Structure 1
């Protein structure tokens, strides 16, 4: 598996991965339709942010995207193709994101997590610091996590 910078022309491919990965958790069609805009990856965002993909044999397996400026940034998206979940792709992407964040001078990353992904982020060293309203589903609260990069 190789981790490399994402290319703007991969925006639609990454959007598809994000949608499939979110649907993996059993969300219904109405929920997925409500999330579609928030999960859409924009080519301009790829150019402006630190976005990398994990790839094996020419297939993109997942991606992660960071934004922000020192001292604090955010892990905006981390999605893995469903058939690759649990096989180390997410961990590799998270570790690359951690390294990129440190290289960018960030001391802390915040993560608006899907409730189903929270255990993964906690296992990676993040801590829950509260909750935040969903950008897609009115009344839904999401775990708000933080990763202290100075301690990692």
Structure 2
């Protein structure tokens, strides 16, 4: 297993992985279409932010992105067929190590009700609850201090 920086030509694949992973939670096609539009990974995004990929010898298993300026964890996705298999924890612990190496003291993230417990168990703290920009769903705003 390996974690490496993404390359710009992987942008479309990573966008599709994120949409597929969101689809795991049963969100309808309308939601997923809006999600894809708002959270697409572009080549420029990869060039300007910390985008890292978890892979085995054959496949990309997941990825995360930490925005350089805002220190926001904007993407954190595992292939939908691997959700619940421990790969998310592997990525999370690598993210924390990466933040230490890059002198990133804290970061923020937004989570849906389906995944907020995952982040909370790993030490992220809910700082407020609000509405998503997609369908006004409830979301949780969290912070993690490295």
Work out whether the TM-score is over 0.5.
Answer: yes
Structure 2: any 5+ residue segments left out of the alignment?
none
What aligned pairs does 1:80-119 form with structure 2 within 5 A after superposition? 80-119=78-117
CA distance in 1, matches of 2:100, 2:87: 20
CA distance in 2, matches of 1:19, 1:148: 28
Q: What displacement does 1:102 show?
A: 2.1
TM-score when scaled to structure 1?
Answer: 0.89
Equivalent pairs counted in the alignment come to: 146
CA distance in 2, matches of 1:39, 1:73: 16
CA distance in 2, matches of 1:136, 1:8: 26
3-state DSSP of counterpart to 1:116 = coil
Q: What displacement does 1:45 show?
A: 0.9
Q: What displacement does 1:136 show?
A: 2.8
Aligned partner of 1:36 in structure 2 is 36
What aligned pairs does 1:1-150 form with structure 2 within 5 A after superposition? 1-69=1-69, 73-137=71-135, 139-149=136-146
CA distance in 2, matches of 1:34, 1:147: 27
TM-score when scaled to structure 2?
Answer: 0.92
Q: What displacement does 1:140 show?
A: 2.5
CA distance in 1, matches of 2:58, 2:7: 14
Q: What displacement does 1:36 show?
A: 1.6
Structure 1: any 5+ residue segments left out of the alignment?
none
| Farther-moved stretch of structure 1 (90-99 vs 127-136) | 127-136
3-state DSSP of counterpart to 1:4 = strand
Contact 1:73 1:101 in 2 (8 A): no
